[in-house]
Structure 1
């Protein structure tokens, strides 16, 4: 959506000067706005979770130093999201020469055409305003990316208009020059062919560009940032040494270090179609963390945060589907819905050699461990013996085809369940879904600790505990 600048902003060079506007380089702009945010105690990195004491301080130091930078880390660690938040540190509006192909500042024209117009028009040089969201340019590096895409090429249309090949105005600028006065981000930098990476060397050091024999001295004002996976994982390429040397900072990212951060990422990023209680999100978070520690999973490829987000969305979808079939109006996810994640998400993981045919077995085992660890953590100190004894006397049916209403109605009247509900924060709700989910977690813990047994019922869908 195009954002319209305020009507009271200057529209000519003379009016801009009269307003007292000061020119700052992009790196000075980012530095100043970051320092202002830090002094004011505001968060410069909205939506970034788990990097507060590790990645963020390094990133802030790099910006204050005015360094181009590369974020290095496994997939799904939030590298791209972090780079995109840089736009929030730019001024909301910045003036540019109206009609400039690369968004030059009115005080500092750098192309032949803009220099000519500035000389001809003087203070009447027309000025327009660019929003900070338009000053972030992102390119996913692919093996077929050409120098023309990043730097530029001869524009045959301009040549056909009668201009000579030696005329600098025949150049069609690529993405990097068009990011002038802004931030240029290159994702998966090692995927760029080495000869294409060479084309960035002058941009980063001398700040000029070369196009098919032209040497056009353009003092580009741009912050160049990039992301990359560790080279020992991708094996698709590398960042050439001279280019690495030109980045002022290389910052390693990581997966969330704390369980609470893992849960916060899931809650923030997942688009849930049904209510998923916190205890199920904790199970998913623990499941993801166990996968990152498993010898059966290729840790070089990583277990992306997208895995846990997709797992939460799958659990919510399973709950919504179950509710639609059973006629429930307010679907709430229950532990039974966790089973849906395994066949759906198996393809998002890379297993080590020798695990062929055991993938589902590994996932089921780790999901049971995550469920047991979560239940022990949340229900620590709760005596579940009365519940186990009651279910032993009167077997309880639960499972995919048992509605929350029916499950809650069939629960034994024991004080233990009240305590479980209080621990899981579902006391006082009139909706049976949260209570059914809490009860299922307690029953699952009893099963996993071998205090109850469960067997498939005759219909093949419902489980009897006893």
Structure 2
């Protein structure tokens, strides 16, 4: 909700039309408004319109915590970051508070004391939606101090007791109070850290060095995980698994059109690209997309780790780069990729996939077969062998065509 003239004190906020809402209420309200207006609320997300997005909308409308399950490169992080679009443009918070405390109902001791002393003259600051979103990649070495908090020895040295709430240096999750916090690769958290996360989500308390603080945080905690790790036999405690109301499965693009659209949207573009026109035949785009799609079905490639859409993007960039290099050398004004550019995607592709084999030199052979298979599949889509019989007959009769290496 936007207030026409920003209030600077709690008294001014009270006199405005601002109404207090939780994060889930706020997101639900804004989602309803966007659906009614027909506005896009997850920009840049391609191929999920009829699969992932409806489940995500239902989870937000029902106020459920969400975990996204999917292999790498399935837009999980982008989808989670797009959730911040459903937050209000700005919200008021008590000025200087580490945990963005609600001016109407503060939960930390510092803000409670401030409100008791200054009353409605308490200074207010406004938080935009970017400051209300945070994320952390889970690793085994993450500590309670990183996510939740720790006793600050400097504050203790200043004369405060260990049992004093003001001695606590808050971690990432409390610092995103009244916002969205994402934990990527949740099962990689150590079990004791998962227990601490469960306490925040379920019990609404924080336990630091045995000292328990009742801290009813208003945080929308979203997580992502690889499906193989997120099982009863995996590395996540059952109570935390049960806490997430919606388990949403992502997927790779299910058709070539979506894969190509993502390639075009995400490829790196430079300002100087306009000096030479870039003209990419549709069949070349289809070949690049088909290389990735074949890799996702290849027994020679580790399917548990997946083949990211980033593979298609990197291949597309490498193909365009080689076509541009040729155009510069030959002083051509137009950049047009050819089939002969495809072998130059090898460095990009081998860096994006994990091979099942460890045999020396075998990786290049596998990639070359993928490229050949993709060219053949796209060729067969456009032509049938019967149509080309006259051409084949000419070559069999001794006709030849000379082409350059460039």
For the criterion TM > 0.5, the same-fold answer is: yes
1 CA distance for matches of 2:331 and 2:109?
70
Give the secondary structure class of the aligned counterpart of 2:32.
helix
Answer yes or no: is 1:297 the counterpart of 2:301: yes
What corresponds to 1:16 in structure 2?
Answer: 13
Partner of 1:200, secondary structure, is helix
* CA displacement, residues 228-255 of structure 1 (integer Å, 9 cap, x when unaligned): 1123599x96221111011111111111
2:89/2:128 contact within 8 Å kept: yes
2:181 is matched with which residue? 184
8 Å contact kept, 2:72–2:306: yes
2:377 to 370, 373, 396: 373
Structure 1 residues 400, 216: closer, same or farther in 2, change over 3 A? farther
Is 1:135–2:132 an aligned residue pair?
A: yes
Task: Please point out which of 355, 360, 382 is paired with 1:351.
Answer: 355
Q: TM-score, normalised by structure 2?
A: 0.91
Counterpart for residue 144 of structure 1: 141
Q: CA deviation at 1:7?
A: 8.4
- In structure 1, distance between residues paired with 2:230 and 2:341: 33
Following superposition of structure 1 onto structure 2, how do residues 435-454 of structure 1 map, counting pairs within 5 Å?
none
Partner-residue secondary structure (3-state), 1:137: strand
Gaps of 5+ in 2: none
Q: Residues 219 and 71 from structure 1, CA distance in 2 versus in 1: closer, same or farther, beyond 3 angstroms? A: same
The answer for the alignment partner of 2:344 in structure 1 is: 340
Aligned residue number for residue 401 of structure 2: 396
Partner of 2:116: 119
Contact 1:72-1:251 at 8 Å conserved across structures: yes
User: CA offset at residue 389 of structure 1?
Assistant: 7.4
TM-score of the aligned structures, taking structure 1 as reference length: 0.80
User: For 2:369 and 2:257, how far apart are their aligned partners in 1?
Assistant: 23
- Aligned residue pairs total 397
RMSD: 2.6
Is the 2:350–2:363 Cα contact (8 Å) retained in structure 1?
yes
Within-5 A mapping of 1:36-75 = 36-75=33-72
In the superposition, relative to structure 1, how do residues 362 and 50 fare at CA in structure 2: closer, same or farther (>3 Å)? Answer: same
Once the 2 structures are TM-superposed, how far is the Cα of residue 399 of structure 1 from its aligned partner? 4.5
Distance 1:299 1:355, change over 3 A: farther
Q: Does 1:85 align with 2:82?
A: yes
Deviation at 1:258, TM superposition (A): 1.6
Q: Map Cα deviations across residues 278-315 of structure 1 (whole Å, 9 max, x no partner).
A: 32221111111111111222211111111111111111
Q: Structure 2 CA distance, aligned partners of 1:379 and 1:215?
A: 71
1:163-178 maps to which residues of 2 (within 5 A)?
163-178=160-175
Q: How far does residue 394 in structure 1 lie from its aligned partner after superposition?
A: 6.4
Match of 2:312 among 308, 313, 322: 308
